[in-house]
Structure 1
Amino acid sequence: MSTMPEFSLRVAFVDGATGEVDMRNFLSGPQTTGTVFEPLRDPSVFAQVGVVMGTVQWANGADLAPDAMYDAIKAHGRWIVE
């Protein structure tokens, strides 16, 4: 997994599926204000992403649903988090 410009991630799964996770709209929207995702608006915090037990996760506890990510990437090559 690697970060890409503008709040996106490039991910790869053990079965070889690869794709992009686009979090731009999600992070810029009002729904993240006051949540664990709000600090991710800072590019330096967003860049601290890692994989913990198969889940994309940040140090503050924010994480992404691996099943939803996988399904969207298998179907479309990209998951746009809303």
Structure 2
Amino acid sequence: MTEIKMVRARRVRALPDYQLEIVFDDDTMGVADLSDFVGTGPMMQPLRDPAFFSRVFIEMGVPTWPNGCDIDPINQHMLFREAGALRPVSAAA
């Protein structure tokens, strides 16, 4: 059974090609590829515009866009961990 760790996003940065760098409050980070999800529904549709995608910010520990679309930091942390893509912030370039 996978352990669910309660984490919040501390910092987020939009990268090219619908990638999102997320730094968590446990001093780990990962890069999410959202290219398969951008534009898949009414909330995600505006994110197809790279200028809008880059307007991501942190609201109460959650990566969020101005239209209210957000990314669950706990689920994203679990996905990074399971994929072996979660790394210490100090390892970031």
Taking structure 1 as the reference length, the TM-score comes to: 0.81
Please identify the structure whose Cα radius of gyration is greater: 2
User: SS at 2:36's partner residue?
Assistant: helix
Does residue 2 of the first structure (1) align with residue 13 of the second (2)? yes
Distance 2:80 2:24 in 1: 10
Give the aligned length.
Answer: 74
Runs of 4+ displaced beyond 4 Å: none
Q: Name the amino acid aligned to 1:12.
A: V
Of the candidates 32, 35, 38, which is equivalent to residue 27 of structure 1? Answer: 38
Displacement of 1:67 in angstroms is 1.4
Unpaired segments of 5 or more residues in structure 1? none
Q: TM-score, normalised by structure 2?
A: 0.73
Counterparts of 1:40 and 1:26, CA distance in 2: 9
Same amino acid, percent of matched pairs:
28
Find the residue that maps to 2:38 and give its secondary structure: helix
Which structure 2 residue ranges, 5 or more long, are not aligned?
1-11, 87-93
Look up the SS of the partner of 1:27 in the other structure: coil
Measured after TM superposition, the shift of residue 26 of structure 1 is: 1.2
Give the aligned residue type for 1:6. Answer: D
How far did residue 36 of structure 1 move?
A: 1.2
Q: What is the DSSP-based 3-state SS (H/G/I as helix, E as strand, rest coil) of the residue aligned with 1:24?
A: coil
Give the equivalent residue in structure 1 for 2:58: 51
**Structure with higher helix content:** 1
Cα shift readout 1:2-54 (whole Å, capped 9, x = no counterpart):
111100011111111110111111115xx32xx11100000000000001000
